[in-house]
Every structure is written in C-alpha cells, then in structure tokens.
Amino acid sequence: MNLILNIAGSGDEIVSAATVYGRTYSLFENTLPNFGVNIKKYLHKWAGANLLKQNSKLEVSELQY
C-alpha cells in the first residue's frame, strides 16, 4: 500500500482490471478511496488504455492462470 500511496494521492486515479485478486480488490474498494484515490475499473483486457487520463498515476492488472 505504501508504494501505491507514494505514486497516487488524493485526487489521483488508478485504472484497474475488474478481475484482481481478493486483497488487491479490498485495497481498491475499501482503503484507497479513504485516501482520496479514485479507482476506475475495466473488464476487457485492452480497455485500460482508453481510461487513462492526465491524473491517472497507475494501471493495474494481475495475471490469472
């Protein structure tokens, strides 16, 4: 979490795949919004780039086997 908060702060945005693992999901849904970080989710694996804006600081996806 410290790494993410060093990259993104209040008013910034993280673009994330909707299919992330449990602890990552919990971090994005419950913790980061308390610090003012907005999370945008995408379903299609190539759609993340379309959601990036000037205040987007990080794009997250996790490889699932």
Our count of domains for the chain comes to 1
d(CA 58, CA 52): 9
d(CA 44, CA 27): 21
pLDDT by residue (tens digit) across 6-56? 999 999 999 998 888 899 999 999 999 999 999 999 887 667 777 889 999
The pLDDT assigned to 56 comes to: 92
Domain range holding 28? Answer: 2-47
Is 53 among the domain residues? no
Two structure tokens written together for 42: 């995408």
Two structure tokens written together for 56: 């987007």
The pLDDT assigned to 37 comes to: 96
The DSSP bridge pattern shows strands 38-42 and 13-17 to be parallel
Is 29 among the domain residues? yes
State the pLDDT confidence band at 2, using cuts at 50, 70 and 90. confident
Is 26 among the domain residues? yes
Global pTM reads 0.81
Q: How many helices (H) and strands (E) does the chain have?
A: 3, 3
Is 11 among the domain residues? yes
The pLDDT assigned to 49 comes to: 74
Closest listed residue to residue 48, CA positions, set 10, 14, 8, 4: 14
